[in-house]
Amino acid sequence: MSAKPLTDLSKLCIHTITTKPWNIETAAKNFSAAGVKGITVWRDTLEGRNIKKTGDMLRDHDLKIVSLCRGGFFPSIDSQKRKAAIDDNRKAIEEAAELGTNMIVLVCGADPAQSMEDSRKQIRDGIATVLPEAKAAGVKLAIEPLHPMYADTRSAINTLGQANDMAEELNSPFVGVAADVYHLWWDPALEQEIKRCGKNNHLFAFHICDWNVPTNDFLWDRGLMGEGCIPVRKIRSWVEATGFNGFNEVEIFSNKFWAEDQHQFLNKILKAYQEKS
């Protein structure tokens, strides 16, 4: 049932936001020195930089650029804002290609001023609109279902089942899903939806962290693997049973950890990755 412990770091990817106090150059240097093999780049870290050269810098550190985070936020009751979102997603696709990654994570968005059904339709239409550019650029789009507590403004796609439905409807090798244990752990259908996702070659990414008990902030209180109540290893076993051979991406937003020395935090991540993931 349970997956084997992760005794080496060959599939460890860390999101730049996880060590938010570090800029991308510092993160790259320290991740690489620690033996981390993958990085997911949040777009804010590219600000004011030559994106192609930043990609080269990451590759020089022997880091695989697993994905660019994030596109999405398609829905709005305001058509001008929907158009702006499409433009921003096109820009994200260009940035991904320049950076040299073949994947963008989509935080799909939701507008509380309209129905969830309308938001979902606008998400589907938005992805369909930018799909030709994504395909031309060789960039895959990973729909990330978010926890239902973000259904008001962050995503109208709140279960892996919904993300699978949408990926199947869009029916392209360039559309799949990103499964994050933080958003999905509570779902009784999780194992079956991971299976379905894998069977359809839609499982593009796997994100890990933990759910703190209690959780004190809606956004910035994620835990390190093993600190909370998510059965990370069990979920990883379901992911690996599909044949998934991608990275285990550590994505932690935490005011607590960001206030610590980031070298010490990185050591904690390595330990939690090997012992609790």
- Which residues sit at the interface with a copy of itself, rule CB under 8 A? 112-113, 115-116, 120, 147-149, 151-153, 158-159, 162, 185-188, 211, 213-215, 218, 228-229, 231
Pairing of strands 248-250, 103-107: unpaired
Q: How far is the CB of 248 from a copy of itself (least distance, A)?
A: 21
Of 36 and 197, which has the nearer Cβ to a copy of itself?
Answer: 197
State the minimum distance, in angstroms, from the CB of residue 256 to a copy of itself: 17
CB closer to a copy of itself out of 113 and 136: 113
Q: How far is CA 257 from the centre of its chain?
A: 19
The residue (of 122 and 159) whose beta carbon lies closer to a copy of itself is 159
Three state DSSP letters for 194-227: HHHHHHCCCEEEEEECEECCCCCCCCCEEECCCC
- To a copy of itself, the closest distance from the beta carbon of 229 in angstroms equals 4
* Between 86 and 151, CB nearer to a copy of itself: 151
**Alpha-carbon distance 185 to 230, whole Å?**
6
Least separation in angstroms between CB 66 and a copy of itself:
27
Name 202's Cβ contacts closer than 8 Å, sequence gap at least 6.
Answer: 164, 167, 168, 175, 176, 177
> Alpha-carbon distance 16 to 69, whole Å?
9
